[in-house]
Amino acid sequence: MKKNTLASHNICILFWGELFGSIRFIQPVLTLFYFARGLDESMILIVMTFFSIGVLFGEIPTGVLADLFGAKRAFLIGSILSIVAHTLLIIAFDPWLFFLSSFLTGFAATFFSGADEALIYESLKLSKEENLMDRAMGQISSARFIISIFVVIIGALLANELTEHQFRLLLILGVCFMTVQFILILFIKNPPNQEGSRTSVIQQVVEGYVAIRKMPQVLWMFMNISLVFIPAVAIFEKFDQKLLVDAGLPVYGIGMVYALTAMIGFIAARAIGWMTKKIDRVHLLNLTGLLAVFALTATAFFHTSLWIILGAMVLLKLVSAIRYPVYSQLANNIIPSNVRATTISLLSILDSCFDLLIFTTLSGIASVGLLWMFLTCAIIAMIGTSIPIRK
């Protein structure tokens, strides 16, 4: 990748922004924090549902905002909302506060969703490097994995007794580092075509919809990615702490496990360019989809085995690190520049609908047992993997 270009500048800023924004010390004990505050498995899934509702409400307006006024402005608003949402957890003892925090977190995420891809792809086009989109996204996402190595160990150690004082300390530290992310976003530079547009909001949405109609392969590709990601990453990561503890791992050991899987994710994210040279991108998506199905099926039948859970976590971390950057390259190659963020946001509405359907379904199945919950997750991932992907 060329140096001293707008793309290299924005990739660097987003890398460090992702790094500091990912420093959330509560993460390695988040599920245990929920249980300590009085939530159960079904209630946790409802909390996740409110996240999806927030995404559903925010996707279209925030995508249009990014296309009309630039990604930088969208990032700043999203960063502020993320800080507010995380701060609410400090005082959250009633379910409605958890719901509100989750809703705001989801709404805040939409200010980054699509806008980050649009910013990077348009920046790469200026230096004629758009074919390196998957490497750029892998580099940015690797920040989340590398910082997790330290955050999860420190967080698990600081909260080893799972006391209220320890939980509050972790949340306050998270807010401090999220503030650093906000400051870093101030240094992002919008590409010239993102400095403002006179297109109306309605016209922008219509053009995004027309783009999807003209390129149905993007829609099918997104469905493939979404239906694997939701059960294999979003749901599994909400219950992996409970799985580890129930399988006999001490609380302080959770940080070590998270650090190991984060290192694997970091290496995989950084090796995206090497992988796509060896394996066709479509084949890579199919392979990682099957790995997700295998890991979820093994978890369903052997969720009391510590080694099985550890193996599943490794496989699903690889799936998480590889699939989205590869999809991002394939999709952005054919999405029009003037409605890039809007189009991605419109697609994300479908993801939110899948979230709502899957979370509400699993909230009922979770009361029956982990076997049936994770077996359902494996079936959903298999359906997603089966959706054909065409370049």
Tens of pLDDT along 89-109?
999 888 889 999 999 999 998
CATH code of residue 59: 1.20.1250.20
> In the block, which residue shows the tokens 């997750």?
377
In 3-state terms, what secondary structure has residue 145?
A: helix
Provide the number of structural domains found in the chain.
1
CA angle 143, 144, 150 (to 5 degrees): 95
Is residue 35 situated within a structural domain?
yes
Here the tokens at position 171 are 């949340």
Q: What's residue 198's pLDDT?
A: 56
Is residue 181 situated within a structural domain?
yes
Torsion sign (Cα): 19, 22, 24, 29: negative
Q: How confident is the model at residue 376 (pLDDT cuts 50, 70, 90)?
A: very high
Q: What's residue 367's pLDDT?
A: 72
Here the tokens at position 79 are 């960063």
Q: Give dist(CA 137, CA 329) in Å, integer.
A: 9
Instruction: Please name which of 244, 264, 262 lies closest in space to residue 254, comparing C-alpha atoms.
Output: 244
pLDDT above 70 covers a percentage of the chain that reads 96
Is residue 197 situated within a structural domain?
no
Tens of pLDDT along 283-331?
999 999 999 999 999 999 998 889 999 999 999 999 989 998 888 888 8
In this predicted structure, the answer to whether residue 380 has a pLDDT above a threshold of 90 is: yes
Is residue 206 situated within a structural domain?
no
Instruction: Please name which of 378, 238, 387, 258 lies closest in space to residue 327, comparing C-alpha atoms.
Output: 387
- The model carries a pTM of 0.71
Structural domain boundaries enclosing 309: 6-188+215-386
pLDDT above 90 covers a percentage of the chain that reads 27
Tens of pLDDT along 53-65?
888 888 778 877 7
Is residue 341 situated within a structural domain?
yes
Q: What's residue 227's pLDDT?
A: 93
CA Rg value for the chain = 20
Is residue 201 situated within a structural domain?
no
More confident call, 280 vs 69: 280
Is residue 82 situated within a structural domain?
yes
Here the tokens at position 135 are 């490497």
Q: What's residue 142's pLDDT?
A: 83
Mean pLDDT along residues 58-75: 81
Is residue 193 situated within a structural domain?
no
